[in-house]
Structure formats: C-alpha cells, structure tokens
Homo-oligomer: A and B are copies of this chain.
Amino acid sequence: MLYGIIEAGGTKFICGVADENQIIERISIETTTPQKTMPDVIAFFKKFDIVSLAIGCFGPIDIRKNSPTYGYILQTPKIAWQQYNFLGEMQTHFDIPMFWETDVNVAAFGEFVLGAAKDAKSCLYLTIGTGVGGGYCANGAFLPTLLHPEMGHIHLKRLDGDSFEGSCPFHDDCVEGLVSGPAIEKRAGKKAEEIPEDDIIWEMVARYIAQALQTYTMVVSPEKIILGGGVMKREHLYPLVRKYFLEYINGYIDFEALGVTMDTYIIAPQMPDYSATYGCVELAKRLVK
C-alpha cells in the first residue's frame, strides 16, 4: 500500500509517497499560487496509487471538521492562498481518506511517534524559521482546539533597552516578531546563518526564546520541548536557551526534583528535515488502519 503526504510550507511544498517501510519518492515544489502550484502537486500523486493522504499545511487553516470551511486556508498574508479550499481541491482528484492539520502539528506528531519525544507522553514542537510556529501532541493526539495553536504570537517582555521595532505586522513584541529568521536579519543587518557565534545578538535571541518556553511550560507543561527550524540550526543556541530558561523559571519549578535535566528537556528534533514527513506518513497509515 502506498501513502501520500504533503508538507505545504510557505516557500515550498514537499510531496512524498511512502510504502509500509520507507519513503519511495519525495519532491519539492515552489509555493507560488494555487493555480500554479496545485497542478504539479496533483500530477505528482497521479503517478501513484495512494490509499490515503496526510496534509500538514501552513496556517492559519480551518481544522474544525464540522465547519463549512473545513480544509480551507484562512486569512494568511499569502494573499493568493486566502480562503483556498485546499482539502476540497485534493478530494476532487483523489477519492481517498485524507488527514488535514497544521505543518507544525504534524512535525510535533512525527517527533512524538518516531523521534526525540518518542518516550514522552506529551511534546511541544517549536519551529523558528521564516516564521515561528508551535505544535503540541499528547498521547498521540492533537488538542481539540478552536483555531490551532499560534504559539509564535504570544507577546514577550522586552529586554531592557531593546527598542527594535520587530517584524510582525500584528504584534509589537511577539516571538515571531523578535526571533524569527527575518527578525534576526532585520535586527542584525545580515542573515542568521552569517552571524558569528559570539555575537551578542544570540544572547538576546536565546533570552527571548527562553522566555517563550517558560510561558509554554507554565501553560501546558509538556514532557519535552523540541526546538527546530532554520534558526535552530545554529546549535550554539541550545545551551544558551537552556540557561536562560532556568533563569526565567527562577526556581518556581524544581526540575531537579522532577528528575529532569535541561539537556533532555529542551532538545533538537531527531529528524530535523523529516519530522513533518514522517509525521504525515504515520497519520496517512492510520487513516486506513
């Protein structure tokens, strides 16, 4: 049996097909407009006899099954995709069971089932890249939400003296506006991957990420926090984030008494470029089992 998967991201769509054991083919298609991108997506899957399809899509999307716009992309800044009936379009071409979720939730699911959180009962996955998004998975399921989580848009407390204007059009001081790749580039005048490890900017970035993680921990207290995305490819960030996280917790949670060390609590994805792919494969399999 063959299973289809789509990771629909803001810059590229990754489409793939897997059998029971492995990924057979995986391609990348540029995200432009539905009129240009979707025919290529559909043509790819027409080559295979897939039995189910799991889609992890950039948000905001409508994931409420009883909603008239279930399967739609909602008010995204990518204007061409606003109110696009993504799931409906796929169902026109493929009469098979489909799963519809956010891209970060399927990545969280992948790491939960097969990756860095596979021994945990719950995990929070935060991707810090072009945007900042969070997914959450507990006991192998997603939360029944009104909208999906929008964890990149919680507000942070500014560090003293930080007057950077941020990069989010909606919020002065949200996580995405302060530590996404574009925010770091705007602040530093160069891309995150070009900034030296000892640049003082990383202290600031790590403090803001740590502050966000403190909030998530107070709200859902996950057993694992996984930090992924392009910005976190700068691996020197992990120990900095762990250090400042404990500073912000300020003894309020006694991690030592809970038997939890920071290097097992705030961790990297085990499948950095494949979390969402494997999450989708597993979700597609479950649709027919």
Contact = CB atoms under 8 A, between A and B. Distances in A.
B147 A138 contact: no
Q: Which 4 A-B pairs have the closest CB atoms?
A: A121-B144, A145-B221, A150-B218, A219-B219
A134 B219 contact: yes
A187 interface: no
B218 A74 contact: no
A196 to B, nearest CB: 30
Interface stretch (A13-21, A28-36, A152-160, A270-278): A152-160
Given A170-B252, A223-B145, A151 B74 contact: no
Interface stretch (A4-12, A39-47, A231-239, A254-262): A254-262
A218 B151 contact: yes
B211 A147 contact: no
Interface of A: 60, 64, 67, 69, 74-75, 121-122, 134, 136, 138-139, 143-151, 153-158, 170-171, 173, 211, 214-223, 248, 250-254, 257-260, 265
**For the complex formed by this chain, how many copies does it contain in all?**
2
Given A139-B144, A147-B258, A153 B252 contact: yes
A149 B254 contact: no
B223 A220 contact: no
A221 B102 CA distance: 14
9 contacts: A145-B223, A146-B221, A149-B219, A150-B221, A151-B219, A155-B211, A170-B252, A216-B219, A219-B220
B260 A146 contact: yes
